[in-house]
């Protein structure tokens, strides 16, 4: 598992991608919308987190 910090300006998206390992995210401020094909859209707010297994294609957008 790697570790990194992703900073998104408001209304920016990380293009559709698949993580090579498990992905865990913690939102420091604002909201992030996570879209995975075939699943309901998930809104993650500041102070919350989400996780995703490796190989799941998704898009994350900050609001």
pLDDT by residue (tens digit) across 8-49?
888 999 899 998 889 899 999 999 999 998 899 999 999 999
* CATH assignment of the domain containing 32: 2.60.120.10
Residue 48 maps to a domain: yes
> Does 8 fall in a domain?
no
Statement: the pTM of the whole predicted model exceeds 0.75: yes
Is 19 part of a structural domain of the chain? yes
Residue 23 lies in a domain: yes
Largest CA distance in the chain: 28
Pairing of strands 42-45, 31-36: antiparallel
Tell me which residue range forms the domain holding 30. 13-62
Alpha-carbon span 23 to 1, nearest angstrom = 8
User: How many structural domains are present in the chain?
Assistant: 1
For residue 8, what pLDDT is reported? Answer: 85
Residue 39 lies in a domain: yes
Q: Residue 5 pLDDT more than 90?
A: no
Q: Is residue 4 part of a domain?
A: no
């Amino acid at each position: 598992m790697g570790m990194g910090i992703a900073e998104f300006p408001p209304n920016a998206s990380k293009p559709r991608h698949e993580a090579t390992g498990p992905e865990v995210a913690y939102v420091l401020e604002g909201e992030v919308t996570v879209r995975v094909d075939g699943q309901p859209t998930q809104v993650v707010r500041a102070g919350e987190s989400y996780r995703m297994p490796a190989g799941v294609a998704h898009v994350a957008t900050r609001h």
